[in-house]
């Protein structure tokens, strides 16, 4: 069966293609050729039409036409009359290599800007000549991390180093500390309910591997975390989108979808949602617990909460009962570079997930776990620091977007480091291409959609230093007037 690649997905795979030397069509040809060679566009894939792709890339149809002609000449693409263009069967690979939603972590942006873009920017900016990257909302680490590493001495490790050091379920001291993390949030937890993982990203992967088969129906919020979509896709899940808005997942739609599709898993983010910044209220949590379907709640962003949710203190979703697996991480509170995350489940599920974890990597680095175990008791301090930085950044960014881009709509995020904005209409993928060429990189909505939808949304990160974010917003506003002119 031939795969079809949508225009938004292809635009994502091509990200950054427009920068560099040479004519646009030559660069496009080079990038498409490379995507075939690397297996990202496997043999037999049907490509979007030249007109549709030109629209998504915000270039003329001639540019795409010249690239396709060249690749047809090389035998890399083939066309069937009246039936579009395909990667030729001489393509090297037959399997899709990934969905490429996490590219912003893989490729730093090329930093030099074309002369034209620099006109009108301040000398300081021009001097930096920097392209501004507002794609990733990952935060830099806190100095608490370096301080803890400074305190660590060889003597602290003597007993550990005397063992073999393979701990698939995790370092006991860290499992206890994570159990304490949940207990303090109102969810009593024992050490045997915790598996330590290499980041929340691996926690997602372990659950997908343990619970899903190719074709398994999975309900997931639309929009959702791009890394979750990537993992679930590669496990072969059949993803069914359920709308999620400023109050979190639409519970009525979730119940209806659960009845209609009999999912094996429901994937949600209760606190705080990436990309919307929403928090699910207590009645929503109760509804999830009553669903009678295993729920995976990725609350990785919990420690970036800016506003206390109104009403009685919210507990983690698993505290409301039902088969709920919780995911968390030290990435947002302390530092993503620790690569330490965790899962909380019932002991039987923990046993299954531990054996999957063993097969993946035999355990997360004990050194990183030890540092995290010593940091976790200070999570309250880390939350205060995050709130002190993110609160003012959010307020400045929302005020600036409201002023510069009055046609864009958004809700104030309750936490996290990004703003989810709604454009007046579709075209976010094409606009992100135009903005990228004007010196600011943004993520278009389809990156967060399992259905290649949401092309009327954009995510703006405010994790970089605020002056850079503000320059980026000015460039975005200039690009938007040119785009809509
Ligand atoms: C919702 C969500 N889950 C998981 C992750 C991955 O986190 P980690 O660094 O712990 O792998 C992120 C990172 O941005 C995230 O936003």
Separation of alpha carbons 337 and 327, rounded Å:
18
Q: Which residue has the tokens 């909505």?
A: 445
Q: Whose CA is nearest to atom 16 of ligand 1?
A: 274
Digit-coded pLDDT (tens) for 341-359: 999 999 999 999 999 999 9
Instruction: Tell which wins on pLDDT, 125 or 6.
Output: 6
Residue list, ligand 1 pocket, CB within 6 Å: 138, 199-201, 225, 227, 269, 274, 298, 300-301, 329, 331, 336, 341
Q: Whose CA is nearest to atom 3 of ligand 1?
A: 300
Question: What is the arithmetic mean of pLDDT over 187-191?
Answer: 97
Kindly indicate the confidence band of residue 2, based on its pLDDT and cuts at 50, 70 and 90.
low
Residue 124 has pLDDT above 70, yes or no: no
Separation of alpha carbons 60 and 55, rounded Å:
8
Residue 381 alpha carbon to ligand 1 centre in Å: 20
Which among 135, 197, 225 is the best mutation to test ligand 1's pocket, defined by most ligand atoms within 8 Å of the CB? 225
Question: What does each C-alpha distance from 204 to 109, 199, 373, 476 come to in angstroms?
Answer: 27, 9, 21, 33
Residue 300 alpha carbon to ligand 1 centre in Å: 6
Digit-coded pLDDT (tens) for 347-400: 999 999 999 999 999 999 999 999 999 999 999 999 999 999 999 999 999 999
In DSSP terms, 267 is beta-bridged to 220, 296
Query: What is the number of alpha carbons within 13 Å of residue 399 lying toward its C-beta?
Result: 7
Question: What is the arithmetic mean of pLDDT over 184-201?
Answer: 97
Q: In the predicted model, what is the mean pLDDT of the chain?
A: 91
């Amino acid at each position: 069966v031939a795969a079809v690649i949508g225009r938004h997905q292809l635009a994502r795979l091509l990200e950054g293609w427009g920068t560099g030397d040479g004519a646009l069509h030559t660069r496009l040809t080079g990038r498409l050729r490379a995507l075939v060679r690397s297996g990202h566009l496997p043999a037999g894939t049907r490509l979007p039409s030249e007109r549709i792709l030109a629209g998504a890339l915000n270039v003329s149809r001639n540019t795409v036409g010249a690239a396709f002609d060249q690749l047809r000449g090389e035998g890399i693409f083939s066309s069937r009359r009246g039936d579009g263009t395909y990667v030729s069967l001489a393509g090297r690979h037959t399997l899709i290599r990934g969905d490429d939603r996490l590219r912003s972590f893989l490729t730093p942006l090329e930093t030099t800007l074309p002369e034209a873009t620099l006109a009108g920017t301040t000398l300081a900016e021009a001097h930096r000549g920097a392209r501004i990257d507002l794609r990733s909302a990952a935060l830099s680490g806190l100095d608490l991390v370096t301080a803890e590493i400074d305190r660590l001495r060889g003597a602290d490790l003597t007993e550990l180093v005397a063992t073999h050091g393979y701990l698939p379920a995790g370092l006991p001291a860290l499992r206890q500390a994570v159990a304490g993390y949940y207990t303090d949030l109102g969810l009593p937890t024992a050490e045997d309910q915790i598996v330590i993982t290499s980041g929340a990203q691996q926690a997602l992967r372990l659950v997908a591997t343990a619970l899903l088969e190719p074709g398994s129906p999975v309900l997931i919020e639309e929009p959702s975390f791009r890394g979750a979509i990537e993992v679930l896709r590669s496990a072969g899940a059949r993803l069914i989108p359920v709308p999620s808005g400023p109050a979190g997942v639409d519970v009525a739609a979730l119940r209806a979808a659960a009845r209609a599709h009999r999912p094996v898993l429901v994937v949600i983010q209760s606190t705080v949602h990436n990309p919307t910044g929403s928090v699910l209220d207590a009645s929503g949590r109760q509804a999830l617990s009553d669903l009678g379907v295993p729920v995976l709640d990725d609350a990785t962003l919990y420690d970036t909460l800016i506003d206390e949710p109104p009403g009685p203190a919210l507990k983690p979703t698993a505290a409301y009962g039902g088969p709920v697996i919780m995911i968390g991480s030290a990435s947002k509170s302390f530092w993503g570079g620790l690569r330490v995350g965790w899962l909380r489940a019932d002991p039987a599920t923990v046993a299954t997930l531990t054996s999957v974890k063993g097969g993946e990597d035999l355990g997360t680095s004990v050194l990183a776990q030890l540092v995290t175990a010593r940091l976790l008791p200070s999570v309250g301090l880390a939350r205060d620091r995050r709130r002190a930085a993110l609160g003012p950044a959010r307020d400045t960014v929302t005020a600036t977007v409201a002023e510069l881009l009055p046609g864009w709509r958004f809700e104030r995020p309750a936490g996290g480091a990004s703003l989810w904005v709604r454009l007046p209409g579709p075209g976010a993928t094409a606009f992100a291409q135009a903005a990228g060429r004007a010196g600011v990189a943004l993520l278009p909505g389809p990156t967060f959609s399992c259905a290649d939808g949401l092309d009327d949304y954009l995510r703006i990160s405010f994790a970089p230093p605020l002056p850079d974010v503000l320059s980026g917003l000015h460039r975005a506003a200039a690009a938007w007037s040119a785009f809509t002119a």
